[in-house]
Structure 1
Amino acid sequence: MTDTSGLTLLGRPAGLPESPDTAVLERVPNPHPGYRYLVRFAAPEFTSLCPLTGQPDFAHLVIDYVPQDWLVESKSLKLYLSAFRNHGAFHEACTVAIARRLVEVLSPAWLRIGGYWYPRGGIPIDVFYQTGPAPEGVWVPEQGVQPYRGRG
Protein backbone atom coordinates (compact mmCIF):
# COMPACT_ATOMS: atom_id res chain seq x y z
CA MET A 1 0.00 0.00 0.00
CA THR A 2 1.31 3.45 -0.89
CA ASP A 3 1.99 5.73 2.07
CA THR A 4 -0.29 8.76 1.70
CA SER A 5 0.03 10.03 5.28
CA GLY A 6 1.90 13.19 4.23
CA LEU A 7 -0.68 14.30 1.67
CA THR A 8 -2.70 17.41 2.48
CA LEU A 9 -5.07 17.60 -0.51
CA LEU A 10 -6.16 14.09 -1.50
CA GLY A 11 -9.45 13.08 0.10
CA ARG A 12 -10.05 16.55 1.52
CA PRO A 13 -11.84 19.65 0.26
CA ALA A 14 -9.37 21.98 -1.43
CA GLY A 15 -9.90 25.37 -2.99
CA LEU A 16 -8.19 26.78 -6.04
CA PRO A 17 -4.70 28.11 -5.20
CA GLU A 18 -4.21 31.86 -5.58
CA SER A 19 -1.28 31.41 -7.97
CA PRO A 20 1.03 28.72 -9.36
CA ASP A 21 3.72 29.89 -6.92
CA THR A 22 1.50 29.23 -3.89
CA ALA A 23 0.03 25.97 -5.19
CA VAL A 24 1.04 22.84 -3.31
CA LEU A 25 2.39 20.14 -5.60
CA GLU A 26 2.49 16.82 -3.75
CA ARG A 27 4.17 13.52 -4.49
CA VAL A 28 3.78 9.88 -3.51
CA PRO A 29 6.38 7.10 -3.51
CA ASN A 30 6.82 5.27 -6.80
CA PRO A 31 5.33 1.80 -6.29
CA HIS A 32 7.72 0.37 -8.92
CA PRO A 33 11.16 1.82 -8.16
CA GLY A 34 13.85 0.44 -10.40
CA TYR A 35 11.45 -0.12 -13.31
CA ARG A 36 11.41 2.26 -16.24
CA TYR A 37 7.94 3.26 -17.36
CA LEU A 38 6.21 6.36 -18.67
CA VAL A 39 3.48 8.34 -16.93
CA ARG A 40 1.34 10.69 -19.03
CA PHE A 41 -1.00 13.48 -18.00
CA ALA A 42 -3.11 15.32 -20.56
CA ALA A 43 -4.76 18.63 -19.73
CA PRO A 44 -6.79 19.50 -22.84
CA GLU A 45 -8.49 22.50 -21.22
CA PHE A 46 -5.53 24.36 -19.66
CA THR A 47 -6.03 28.11 -19.33
CA SER A 48 -3.94 31.12 -18.37
CA LEU A 49 -4.10 34.84 -19.05
CA CYS A 50 -2.16 37.00 -21.48
CA PRO A 51 0.08 39.13 -19.24
CA LEU A 52 -0.51 42.24 -21.35
CA THR A 53 -4.19 42.13 -22.32
CA GLY A 54 -5.64 39.92 -19.59
CA GLN A 55 -7.42 37.88 -22.29
CA PRO A 56 -7.66 34.13 -21.72
CA ASP A 57 -5.26 31.76 -23.44
CA PHE A 58 -6.08 28.08 -23.94
CA ALA A 59 -3.80 25.09 -24.41
CA HIS A 60 -3.77 21.33 -24.59
CA LEU A 61 -0.88 20.23 -22.37
CA VAL A 62 0.67 16.77 -22.49
CA ILE A 63 3.13 15.92 -19.72
CA ASP A 64 5.20 12.73 -19.98
CA TYR A 65 7.69 11.61 -17.36
CA VAL A 66 9.70 8.57 -16.34
CA PRO A 67 9.61 8.43 -12.54
CA GLN A 68 12.45 7.54 -10.23
CA ASP A 69 11.47 7.65 -6.54
CA TRP A 70 8.33 9.80 -6.81
CA LEU A 71 5.03 10.15 -8.66
CA VAL A 72 3.09 13.40 -8.76
CA GLU A 73 -0.18 13.18 -6.85
CA SER A 74 -2.82 13.87 -9.49
CA LYS A 75 -5.23 16.04 -7.45
CA SER A 76 -2.40 18.38 -6.52
CA LEU A 77 -1.32 18.51 -10.18
CA LYS A 78 -4.88 19.38 -11.21
CA LEU A 79 -5.03 22.19 -8.65
CA TYR A 80 -1.56 23.42 -9.62
CA LEU A 81 -2.52 23.58 -13.30
CA SER A 82 -5.81 25.28 -12.40
CA ALA A 83 -3.85 27.98 -10.55
CA PHE A 84 -2.69 29.29 -13.93
CA ARG A 85 -6.30 30.20 -14.74
CA ASN A 86 -5.90 33.70 -13.27
CA HIS A 87 -2.15 33.94 -13.83
CA GLY A 88 -0.73 36.26 -16.46
CA ALA A 89 2.20 34.78 -18.37
CA PHE A 90 3.22 34.12 -21.95
CA HIS A 91 2.78 30.63 -23.40
CA GLU A 92 6.48 29.87 -23.18
CA ALA A 93 6.67 30.97 -19.53
CA CYS A 94 3.73 28.80 -18.49
CA THR A 95 4.87 25.66 -20.31
CA VAL A 96 8.48 25.74 -19.12
CA ALA A 97 7.51 26.77 -15.55
CA ILE A 98 5.27 23.71 -15.25
CA ALA A 99 8.07 21.44 -16.44
CA ARG A 100 10.64 23.00 -14.11
CA ARG A 101 8.35 22.76 -11.09
CA LEU A 102 7.65 19.08 -11.77
CA VAL A 103 11.37 18.37 -12.16
CA GLU A 104 12.06 20.19 -8.89
CA VAL A 105 9.43 18.20 -6.97
CA LEU A 106 9.88 14.76 -8.58
CA SER A 107 13.48 14.51 -9.81
CA PRO A 108 12.27 12.23 -12.62
CA ALA A 109 14.58 10.21 -14.81
CA TRP A 110 13.10 12.14 -17.74
CA LEU A 111 10.33 14.63 -18.40
CA ARG A 112 8.85 16.32 -21.43
CA ILE A 113 5.93 18.66 -21.90
CA GLY A 114 4.10 19.67 -25.04
CA GLY A 115 2.13 22.89 -24.81
CA TYR A 116 -0.21 23.05 -27.80
CA TRP A 117 -1.62 26.57 -27.54
CA TYR A 118 -4.72 27.65 -29.42
CA PRO A 119 -4.23 30.67 -31.67
CA ARG A 120 -4.77 34.27 -30.72
CA GLY A 121 -4.18 36.79 -33.44
CA GLY A 122 -4.18 33.98 -36.00
CA ILE A 123 -0.92 32.35 -34.87
CA PRO A 124 -0.83 29.15 -32.80
CA ILE A 125 2.21 28.83 -30.55
CA ASP A 126 3.38 25.35 -29.56
CA VAL A 127 5.99 25.08 -26.80
CA PHE A 128 8.04 21.94 -26.13
CA TYR A 129 10.51 21.20 -23.34
CA GLN A 130 12.31 18.07 -22.21
CA THR A 131 15.08 17.32 -19.78
CA GLY A 132 17.20 15.34 -22.25
CA PRO A 133 16.97 12.27 -24.48
CA ALA A 134 14.29 9.75 -23.56
CA PRO A 135 15.67 6.83 -21.55
CA GLU A 136 16.49 3.77 -23.60
CA GLY A 137 13.98 0.95 -23.41
CA VAL A 138 11.00 3.13 -22.42
CA TRP A 139 8.01 3.26 -24.72
CA VAL A 140 7.38 6.94 -25.42
CA PRO A 141 4.34 7.26 -27.69
CA GLU A 142 3.66 10.34 -29.75
CA GLN A 143 1.71 12.94 -27.83
CA GLY A 144 -1.16 12.67 -30.31
CA VAL A 145 -2.14 16.33 -30.48
CA GLN A 146 -2.75 17.34 -34.07
CA PRO A 147 -1.27 20.62 -35.35
CA TYR A 148 -3.77 23.43 -35.49
CA ARG A 149 -5.44 23.54 -38.90
CA GLY A 150 -8.11 26.16 -38.42
CA ARG A 151 -11.18 25.73 -40.53
CA GLY A 152 -9.20 24.56 -43.48
Structure 2
Amino acid sequence: MVENKNYTTPFTIDDPEVIKTDLLEPIEYAYKSKRSIDIRIRQPEYTSVCPMTGLPDNGCIIIEYRPDQYIVELKSLKYYLLQYRNVGMFYEHVVNKILDDLAGVIKPLSMKVTGEFTPRGGISSVATAVYEKE
Protein backbone atom coordinates (compact mmCIF):
# COMPACT_ATOMS: atom_id res chain seq x y z
CA MET A 1 0.00 0.00 0.00
CA VAL A 2 1.33 3.45 -0.95
CA GLU A 3 0.46 6.58 0.97
CA ASN A 4 1.06 10.20 0.15
CA LYS A 5 -0.47 13.46 1.34
CA ASN A 6 -3.61 13.02 -0.78
CA TYR A 7 -4.22 9.33 -1.40
CA THR A 8 -3.99 5.87 0.05
CA THR A 9 -4.07 3.20 -2.63
CA PRO A 10 -4.34 -0.58 -2.34
CA PHE A 11 -2.35 -1.03 -5.57
CA THR A 12 1.24 -2.15 -5.69
CA ILE A 13 3.40 0.49 -7.33
CA ASP A 14 6.85 -0.64 -8.43
CA ASP A 15 9.85 1.66 -8.15
CA PRO A 16 11.64 2.70 -11.39
CA GLU A 17 14.71 0.81 -10.19
CA VAL A 18 13.04 -2.47 -11.27
CA ILE A 19 13.66 -1.47 -14.92
CA LYS A 20 16.60 -3.49 -16.28
CA THR A 21 18.55 -2.22 -19.27
CA ASP A 22 20.25 -5.56 -19.88
CA LEU A 23 17.10 -6.64 -21.73
CA LEU A 24 18.00 -4.17 -24.51
CA GLU A 25 20.00 -5.91 -27.21
CA PRO A 26 22.24 -3.81 -29.46
CA ILE A 27 22.75 -5.08 -33.01
CA GLU A 28 25.57 -3.88 -35.22
CA TYR A 29 24.36 -1.45 -37.88
CA ALA A 30 25.70 -3.07 -41.05
CA TYR A 31 25.52 0.07 -43.21
CA LYS A 32 27.34 2.41 -40.81
CA SER A 33 30.22 2.99 -43.26
CA LYS A 34 27.90 3.56 -46.25
CA ARG A 35 25.11 5.85 -45.08
CA SER A 36 23.18 7.23 -42.20
CA ILE A 37 19.59 6.25 -41.53
CA ASP A 38 16.75 7.66 -39.47
CA ILE A 39 14.74 5.13 -37.48
CA ARG A 40 11.29 5.75 -35.99
CA ILE A 41 9.70 3.23 -33.62
CA ARG A 42 6.18 3.53 -32.20
CA GLN A 43 4.88 1.63 -29.19
CA PRO A 44 1.18 2.61 -29.11
CA GLU A 45 0.34 0.38 -26.13
CA TYR A 46 2.67 1.79 -23.47
CA THR A 47 1.42 1.43 -19.90
CA SER A 48 2.69 2.41 -16.48
CA VAL A 49 0.95 3.72 -13.36
CA CYS A 50 0.57 7.06 -11.65
CA PRO A 51 3.10 7.17 -8.79
CA MET A 52 0.55 8.89 -6.55
CA THR A 53 -2.62 6.87 -7.14
CA GLY A 54 -1.55 3.63 -8.80
CA LEU A 55 -4.10 4.24 -11.55
CA PRO A 56 -3.04 3.20 -15.06
CA ASP A 57 -1.31 5.61 -17.42
CA ASN A 58 -1.43 4.78 -21.13
CA GLY A 59 0.05 6.29 -24.20
CA CYS A 60 2.23 6.00 -27.25
CA ILE A 61 6.02 6.05 -26.94
CA ILE A 62 7.80 7.21 -30.10
CA ILE A 63 11.54 6.65 -30.39
CA GLU A 64 13.38 8.39 -33.23
CA TYR A 65 17.09 7.97 -33.66
CA ARG A 66 20.07 8.09 -35.98
CA PRO A 67 22.37 5.16 -35.19
CA ASP A 68 26.14 5.26 -35.05
CA GLN A 69 27.45 1.70 -34.59
CA TYR A 70 24.32 -0.04 -33.27
CA ILE A 71 20.56 -0.35 -33.66
CA VAL A 72 18.20 -1.82 -31.05
CA GLU A 73 16.66 -5.24 -31.57
CA LEU A 74 12.90 -4.67 -31.51
CA LYS A 75 11.81 -7.67 -29.45
CA SER A 76 14.31 -6.68 -26.75
CA LEU A 77 12.86 -3.15 -26.82
CA LYS A 78 9.36 -4.57 -26.46
CA TYR A 79 10.38 -6.57 -23.38
CA TYR A 80 12.21 -3.55 -21.96
CA LEU A 81 9.10 -1.34 -22.31
CA LEU A 82 6.85 -4.03 -20.81
CA GLN A 83 8.78 -3.64 -17.55
CA TYR A 84 7.08 -0.26 -17.01
CA ARG A 85 3.65 -1.88 -16.60
CA ASN A 86 3.45 -1.50 -12.79
CA VAL A 87 6.09 1.19 -12.36
CA GLY A 88 5.01 4.49 -10.85
CA MET A 89 6.53 7.36 -12.85
CA PHE A 90 5.44 10.77 -14.01
CA TYR A 91 5.32 11.22 -17.80
CA GLU A 92 8.26 13.61 -17.85
CA HIS A 93 10.40 11.08 -16.02
CA VAL A 94 9.34 8.18 -18.27
CA VAL A 95 10.61 9.76 -21.49
CA ASN A 96 13.88 10.82 -19.85
CA LYS A 97 14.51 7.34 -18.41
CA ILE A 98 13.78 5.61 -21.71
CA LEU A 99 16.10 8.06 -23.48
CA ASP A 100 18.91 7.60 -20.94
CA ASP A 101 18.62 3.81 -21.02
CA LEU A 102 18.49 3.46 -24.81
CA ALA A 103 21.20 6.03 -25.49
CA GLY A 104 23.40 4.32 -22.91
CA VAL A 105 23.06 0.94 -24.61
CA ILE A 106 23.16 1.75 -28.35
CA LYS A 107 25.05 5.09 -28.23
CA PRO A 108 23.31 6.70 -31.23
CA LEU A 109 24.36 9.88 -32.99
CA SER A 110 21.06 11.40 -31.90
CA MET A 111 17.82 10.25 -30.32
CA LYS A 112 14.43 11.69 -29.41
CA VAL A 113 11.85 9.99 -27.21
CA THR A 114 8.30 11.34 -27.17
CA GLY A 115 5.45 10.19 -24.99
CA GLU A 116 1.94 11.02 -26.21
CA PHE A 117 -0.14 10.12 -23.18
CA THR A 118 -3.85 9.35 -23.13
CA PRO A 119 -5.94 12.17 -21.62
CA ARG A 120 -6.98 11.81 -17.99
CA GLY A 121 -9.40 14.18 -16.40
CA GLY A 122 -9.67 16.13 -19.64
CA ILE A 123 -5.92 16.91 -19.81
CA SER A 124 -3.61 15.40 -22.39
CA SER A 125 0.16 15.50 -22.15
CA VAL A 126 3.04 15.15 -24.60
CA ALA A 127 6.62 15.01 -23.29
CA THR A 128 9.80 14.88 -25.38
CA ALA A 129 13.44 14.37 -24.40
CA VAL A 130 16.40 14.68 -26.80
CA TYR A 131 19.96 13.29 -26.85
CA GLU A 132 22.81 14.44 -29.11
CA LYS A 133 26.17 12.65 -29.14
CA GLU A 134 28.99 14.97 -28.15
**Shorter-normalised TM-score: what interval?**
0.7 to 0.9
Q: What is the aligned residue count? A: 116
Question: How many Å separate the matches in 2 of 1:114 and 1:30?
Answer: 23
Kept after mapping to 1: 8 A contact 2:58/2:118: yes
The structural deviation recorded for 1:132 is 4.1
Kept after mapping to 2: 8 A contact 1:19/1:86: no
Q: Does 1:101 align with 2:101?
A: yes
Kept after mapping to 2: 8 A contact 1:117/1:126: yes
Q: Could you list the per-position Cα deviations for residues 17-74 of structure 1 after superposition, in whole angstroms to 9, with x for gaps in the alignment? A: x932365111111111132111111001100000110000001111011001011111
Instruction: Calculate the TM-score normalised by the size of structure 1.
Output: 0.71
Write the letter of the residue equivalent to 1:77.
Answer: L
Higher strand share: 2
Partner of 2:12: none
Question: How many Å separate the matches in 2 of 1:70 and 1:104?
Answer: 11
SS of match in other structure, 2:23:
coil
Question: How many Å separate the matches in 2 of 1:121 and 1:43?
Answer: 23
Q: Could you list the per-position Cα deviations for residues 69-109 of structure 1 after superposition, in whole angstroms to 9, with x for gaps in the alignment? A: 01111111000001101111111111110011111001101
Question: What are the ranges of 5 or more consecutive residues in structure 2 without an aligned counterpart?
Answer: 1-16
Instruction: Percent identity, please.
Output: 35
Question: How many Å separate the matches in 1 of 2:57 and 2:122?
Answer: 13
Higher helix share: 2
Question: What are the ranges of 5 or more consecutive residues in structure 1 without an aligned counterpart?
Answer: 1-17, 134-152
